[in-house]
Amino acid sequence: MALNNSFRTTDRLPVVPAPVLDALAEAGSPFTLADAVPEPQDAPALRWGILGAGGIANVFATDVPARSSGRIVAVASRDHARAQAFADAHPDAGKGQPVRAHGSYEALVNDPDVDAVYIATPHNFHCEQALLALEAGKPVLVEKSFARNAAEARRVFAAARAANLFVMEAMWTRFLPGQVLLRALASSGALGELRYVRAEHFQSLLHVERLNRLDLAGGALLDLGVYSVSFVHSLLGAPTSVTAVGRLSEAGVDVDEVIAMAYPGACATAASGMAAASNTAAEVVGTRGRVILPTQFYRPSALQIVLGGGHDAQRYEWDATFDGGFQFQAAEVARCIAAGRTESETMPWGETLAVLETMDEARRRLGVAYPGE
């Protein structure tokens, strides 16, 4: 067994600056990093089956066994050779036993060694494959975007409710320590009342064939924009109104977009695009402080925390960058399943639905519809 499971992510987190902890305590929400961010290696051991053998499945099969208590027992592709190649490329992912390669998704979801299924295929397949896993009695972690639209998501959640099985959108970024601290600052009132949130996620991905295909629900929004929209929702909830502008390709997929969101007490903007790379920054503005994520807001990254306003403002930094990132969501799934829960409090079904409703409205305004929707 080549993996070194002594890698404990939370041991590598730097200390949160004392004035930031003081501000949280003063707001009535004392914050303890150890309580707020449980160590992924300490979660119940969960045996994962991966449905799909693409890029994000590769990240999952690398991060999760190395940095959490979980392991990968099986992978499935419609092309058996592709599944086998994936298994061969991850000899240590099973922590002592080889990853089993399945040539059908049915075989994977019915594999008795699989405790939970991770769906890592293009968006257009998510709904049917999540239903397949649930029908086989398996809890399921579904890559973001969770489905092509809110209607598909409702079908999956209805099936999960009927089967009393766990389902979660794989919005891994919500479980990152930086995002946990940010939400604590926002929800405690330590930043005052929130007035503005922005997030943008632009990457140069026009060369990726899948993203140019409307039948695969390609485009920037469901791949990149979902991070921006979900970030806004994680802090402000569902908006009262949504408007959007953007550009479509000749194939009809969205190349980039700016989504403007209105709230009773705030405004927000969620932007995304696949024709150029931005700094992928985000900012949360409150009446008593703000938090800036100057780069890669959706990954383990650095937070600039400004407390107070005007000339009294004090600036602190918490650079919570570390290796991987998927280990936190995998541990959350393991803990929820062990506790008999059907949804995560951090990434609940209602949030996934609300994010899809915002994206549905943005797509309606942009004129993007996927075949067969």
Question: In whole angstroms, what is the distance from residue 282 CA to residue 250 CA?
Answer: 30
Q: Which is nearer to a copy of itself, 123 or 290 (CB)?
A: 290
The minimum distance between CB 113 and a copy of itself, in angstroms, equals: 38
Is the omega angle on the peptide bond into residue 145 within 30 degrees of 0, that is, cis? yes
**Least separation, in Å, of the C-beta of 294 and a copy of itself?**
6
Beta-carbon contacts of 335 under 8 Å, excluding residues fewer than 6 positions away, are 38, 43, 44
Smallest gap from residue 292 Cβ to a copy of itself (A): 5
- 269: helix, coil or strand? strand
> What are the C-alpha distances in Å from 66 to residues 83, 115, 372?
20, 18, 39
Closest CB 228 distance from a copy of itself, rounded Å: 11
Look up residue 345 and give its DSSP letter. S
Residue 244 C-beta: closest distance to a copy of itself, Å: 7
Residues that bind a copy of itself (CB under 8 A): 192-193, 195-196, 198, 200, 202, 204, 241-247, 256-262, 264-269, 271, 273, 275-279, 281, 283, 285-287, 290, 292, 294, 304, 306, 309-310, 313
- Measured from the CB atom, the residue of 38 and 294 that comes closer to a copy of itself is 294
User: For residues 61 and 71, what is the distance between their CA atoms, to the nearest angstrom?
Assistant: 8
CA-to-CA separations, 355 to 69, 129, 144, 193, in angstroms, rounded: 30, 20, 11, 22
> Do residues 137 and 313 touch, judged by C-beta distance below 8 A?
no
What minimum distance in Å lies between the beta carbon of 205 and a copy of itself?
10
CA nearest neighbour of 166 among 227, 115, 94, 107:
115
Q: Of the two residues 10 and 230, which places its CB atom closer to a copy of itself in the complex?
A: 230
Q: What is the DSSP letter of 204?
A: B
Residue closer to a copy of itself, measured from CB, 89 or 258: 258
The first and second tokens of residue 215, run together, are 């039948």
Q: Which is nearer to a copy of itself, 156 or 259 (CB)?
A: 259
User: Which residue, among 129, 360, 327, 328, has the nearest Cα to 259 in the 3D structure?
Assistant: 360
Shortest distance (Å) from residue 178 CB to a copy of itself: 17
* Closer residue to a copy of itself, CB minimum distance, 3 or 275: 275
Q: Which is nearer to a copy of itself, 142 or 235 (CB)?
A: 235
